[in-house]
Amino acid sequence: MNLSIALFGITREIVGAPTLEVALQPGQSVQQLLEQLHQTYPALGELRSLAVAVNNEYAPADALLQERDEIALIPPVSGG
């Protein structure tokens, strides 16, 4: 399945684009997505934290991804 991942803040700068297309086997989890991204972009591993949002909610590591999901990487937030 092909996922389109929205990027913000420092993750957008690390990847160098506002969205990232990732090909994953069907039924892969958030954890597996993060492992693949860390291999491609080692600088992601230097962040204080890196969460994944699925359909506007923080997703647990074992959540399974689907092609129609709206997915985003959430680096450490700093609003306020």
Partner 1 sequence: MLIQLTDQPIDVAAVLQAVQADGAGAVNSFIGTIRNQSTGRRVVRLHYEAYDAMAVHQLRRVAEQAQERWPMLQQVAVLHRKGTLEIGDVAVVVAVSTPHRAESFAACQYIIDTLKEVVPIWKKEEYEDGTVWVAAHP
Binding residues for partner 1, rule: CB under 8 A, are 6, 8-10, 13, 46-48, 53, 56-58, 70, 72, 74-80
Distance of closest approach, residue 35 Cβ to partner 1, in angstroms: 20
Amino acid symbol at 47: L
Closer of 27 and 42 to partner 1 (Cβ): 42
Cα-to-chain-centroid distance, residue 17: 13
Closer of 25 and 56 to partner 1 (Cβ): 56
Sign of the dihedral through C-alpha 55, 52, 29, 23: positive
Amino acid symbol at 13: E
